[in-house]
Structure 1
Amino acid sequence: MSFELFVAKRYLKAKRKTGFISIITYISIGGVAIGVMALIVALSVMNGFEQEVRSRLLGADAHIRLRKYFQKTISKAEADSILNLLKHTEHVVGASPAIYEEGMIASKDRQHATVIKAIDPETAGQVTEINQNIKLGQLDFSIKEIEGKKYSGIVLGVHLADNINARHVGDIVSVASIPKEGGLFAQPVVKTFYVAGLVEIGYYEYDKVFSYMSITDAQRLFDMGDGISWVEIKLDDYEKAAAVRDELVDEHLGYPYFARTWHEMNKSLYSWMAIEKIGAIVILSLIIMVAAFNIISSLIMVVMEKTREIGILKSMGASSSSILKIFIFEGFLVGFIGTLLGSILGYSITFAQYYFHFITLPGDVYLISALPVLMLWSDFFIISCIAVFLSVLASFYPAYKASQLVPVEAIRYE
């Protein structure tokens, strides 16, 4: 142990008659610990929510969507060729045709705008988790006879079903296409369906607008012939979406095809979560900054208390740089001890929440029973470095003032 570190450890304890200084030092350590703990817990919760949202979105949507520029449909022959190509593309584990269009859906007494997603029930499970998310009924688009009339099946998002009061399997709804051409006098195509099931993705923005039907019904409703609008792709690793997209479009398909990754399809949501995370870091870092100011005040008081001892040390040959190091080491020790305690507390709280779920959430609102947490060791490392750095930075001014004391005047100081 170096001489400077040894003295710094001794200086953490004030004289008994001025124990108030030690109290301030302990408060500084406590402030750093609380700040570090708060940051670790807050970031773990945000990481947990981000993971939960990403998991639900990736379960509801494909990793990549492929379509054409400026053209409404991909023909059946083109779609078959693309699907065959995808079978031999690295990292692709599933692909399915799809149609996305906007329309209006109405029950007997209510109506609502809807995003219609037409899927192939035989292959849709390869790219999404829609089968696992069926809350009521089943994913069934087959034609059934109800009260003497034949209807195709449709599956509704749970909140969309609530909005139009079609919450039961067998309820009759009408879907109208929104004409893109023809102006005010264009006539929409209307088709009647029975509710085959309700799906709950767990993301409100999806569940309040999405309805699902067969590709054949959508082709008739939107006059698409045998075409589709998108090919949806699932990968073995969603992080490789951008690389696979570039390979498909640039090396194999070319113009007029383009593709969007899962991140691009929900860019605003992920950007919002990133900004919120940065905001939380900035706000909670203020706790550590307050603790840093406490470090400044406590070290200034230590310098005042130890003025005579500093003078004796300098008269015995201690250099100004050694005195500077003593108080910088003291600031480091305050930051290190506070960071260590805060990390232990933060880890303990996060660990307890992860395994014991002592903070619960209403499942009907959040669709999860407990507050989600995800600990990342990179967060621990970054927070610890910031806390110790601010503590050391705060010690520079009092350390500099101590190093500039004149030995003769310091020894005479009472």
Structure 2
Amino acid sequence: MNLLFAWRYFKSKKSTNAINIIAWVSVAAIVVGTAALIVVLSVFNGFEDLVKSLYATFYTDLKVMPVSGKTILLKPGQLSRIKAIPGVASFSLVMEEKALMQNGDLQTIVYLKGVDSNYGKVTTVPAAVKVGNFETGSADRPFAVFGAGVENALGFWSDRQIEPLTVYLPKRGAGLNVADPLQSLSADNIYSSGTFAIQQDFDNKYVITNLGFLQRMLNLAPDEYGGLEISLTKGADEEDIQEELVQFLGPNYKVLTRYEQNQGLYSIMQIEKWVIYGVLSLILVVAAFTMIGSLTMLVLEKQKDIQVLKALGASNNKVRSIFLSEGFLLATLGGLVGTLLALVIGWAQVQFKLVPLQGGTFVIDHYPVKFLLKDFLLVLGTVAFVAFIASWFPSRKASLQPIELKS
């Protein structure tokens, strides 16, 4: 019954044409706000998925690291026990250390990462090699795969470099020799085998070589590593396996999920998304003001109808509900049309790449879009909340109208 009254009030001709105009303006504002929120949140979802996929190339499902210090001890028995845990697909032993790479007069600081032969089973970094091959050599004759940014900084082509590059690593346990800093470093030659390109965070700082070389250069024990990177089988319960590893390895080890390895990045992405949501919600606030104006003018227009309804026995709550329904009707029309518009825009962007990414240096050439049901529910819930707040004051004013019928 309330919706019937609301619909008749909405479509009926008003004595003042401005009421109809303001009503349609409020609907249009809700359409724009709803569509903008859904489209922008969906673009953020697309970028979030893209970034996660890029980071998934380099970071594994789980990683075992020391609670303090740079290295952990893992005996063959411990590794066998970890391999036997249900849900563990494979693992790779790694070591990572800052190093100085030099090519003639050019030099740069890099993160030199030593990996074992299983590294290709836990990450897809080998598939990201764009030039040359993923070859890390041996402890005595090391080869390295360079990030594209590192290769550029050192001014060479990895598949054409005949002469080795020089790598400097800190000597373990050696303090800084102020008089001759090079005495605190170990130096050796390393050959280039290829170049990988994932994204700038990795391309500009990482060089990958074999684990044995780093163990030799850093004077590590045979069972001493920087970490253990683990890949899980599809459908495995990540949290259960993480908890089992923590209980098995003890307090000197920490086990991090992919999210925990990049917690800062993911947190910033979520904060950015909520900030954009808050800013774009201001469009709905503008719609709320126009809706208040429209409903207030409608209440003035329908004063006689209100008095008749009250004379027939309608309570204040009933009258208030009628005008609340009018507000929700405006919001529903705007919300549904805005949702449909957002779907059309998103589909067109995916199919025809209407809005390209400028610069040509990113891994994709257009803004990605990914629709999520929770975003639709959030936006439509926001629209309903704004409609309720905007409708409450005019509807309350209508419900308090006194009966002034004259005989």
Matched with 2:169 is: 177
Determine if contact 1:104/1:178 at 8 Å carries over to the other structure.
no
Residue 148 of structure 2 corresponds to 158
Question: Equivalent residue for 2:184?
Answer: 187
Aligned mates of 1:31, 1:239 — CA distance in 2: 46
* Pairing 1:5-16 to 2, within 5 Å after superposition: 5-13=3-11, 15-16=13-14
2:226 to 220, 226, 229: 229
Residue ranges of structure 1 left out of the alignment (5+ in a row): 144-149
Note the alpha carbon deviations across 1:24-75, whole angstroms, 9 max, x for none: 1011111111111111001101111111111111111112111344465445
**6 and 73 in structure 1: CA distance in 2 versus 1, 3 angstrom threshold:** closer
Give the counterpart of 1:126 among 104, 117, 121. 121
Q: Does 181-190 or 208-217 show the bigger shift?
A: 181-190
1:319-348 deviation digits (Å, cap 9, x = unpaired): 222211110000010111111111111111
Matches within 5 A, 1:338-357: 338-357=334-353
Report the alpha carbon displacement of residue 79 of structure 1 after superposing the two structures with TM. Answer: 4.5
1:39 and 1:284 in contact (8 A); partners too: yes
Q: Which amino acid aligns with 1:308?
A: K
* 2:40 match: 42
Matched with 1:289 is 285
Aligned twin of 2:134: 139
Gaps of at least 5 residues in structure 2 are: 178-182
C-alpha distance after superposition, 1:91-127 (max 9, x if no partner): 211211111111111111211111111112x311111
- Amino acid across the alignment from 1:32: I
In the other structure, the counterpart of 1:147 is none
Percent identity over the alignment is 31
- The CA distance in 1 between the partners of 2:308 and 2:70, in whole Å, is 87
Give the match's secondary structure for 2:291: helix
Rounded Cα–Cα distance in structure 2 between residues aligned with 1:370 and 1:176: 41
Name the amino acid aligned to 1:384: L
Deviation at 1:292, TM superposition (A): 1.0
Figure out how many residues of one structure are paired with residues of the other and give that number. 399
Judge conservation of contact 2:172–2:219 (CA < 8 Å) in 1. Answer: no
Q: 2:208 corresponds to which letter in structure 1?
A: Y
Q: Does residue 319 of structure 2 align to residue 318 of structure 1?
A: no
What is the CA–CA distance in structure 1 between the aligned matches of 2:202 and 2:382, rounded to whole Å? 39
Is the Cα contact below 8 Å between 1:362 and 1:368 reproduced in 2?
no
- Measure how far apart 1:130 and its partner are: 1.0
Please give the TM-score of this superposition, normalised by the length of structure 1. 0.90
Per-residue deviation, 1:180: 5.4
The CA distance in 1 between the partners of 2:236 and 2:348, in whole Å, is 30
| TM-score normalized with structure 2 length | 0.92
Match of 1:209 in 2: 205
Q: CA RMSD in A?
A: 2.2
Q: Deviations over 1:2-43 (max 9, x none)?
A: 1x2211111113535412111110111111111111110011
What is the SS of the residue equivalent to 1:309? helix
**Cα distance in structure 1, aligned partners of 2:38 and 2:113:** 40
C-alpha distance in structure 2 between counterparts of 1:360 and 1:21, whole Å:
41
Match of 2:244 in 1: 247
Q: What's 1:31 paired with?
A: 29
Question: In 1, Cα distance between the equivalents of 2:345 and 2:76?
Answer: 53
Equivalent pair of 1:79/1:231 in contact (CA under 8 Å): no
1:336 aligns with 2:332: yes
Instruction: Report if the CA contact (8 A) 2:137-2:144 is conserved.
Output: no
Corresponding residue number in structure 2 for 1:405: 401
Displacement of 1:404 in angstroms is 1.1
Residue 391 (structure 2) pairs with residue 395 (structure 1): yes
Q: Conserved in 2, the CA contact under 8 Å of 1:92 and 1:233?
A: yes
**Pairwise CA distance, 1:135:** 0.9
Distance 1:296 1:180 in 2: 72
For the Cα contact (< 8 Å) 1:14–1:302, is it kept in 2?
no
SS in 1 for 2:389: helix
Q: 1:133 to 1:82 in 2, by over 3 A?
A: farther
Q: 1:112 to 1:238 in 2, by over 3 A?
A: farther
Residue aligning to 2:193: 196
Q: Distance in 2 between matches of 1:174 and 1:82?
A: 35
In the superposition, relative to structure 1, how do residues 274 and 178 fare at CA in structure 2: closer, same or farther (>3 Å)?
A: same
1:114 is the counterpart of 2:104: no
CA contact (8 A) 2:172 2:218 kept: no
CA contact (8 A) 1:335 1:392 kept: no
Q: Distance in 1 between matches of 2:397 and 2:15?
A: 23
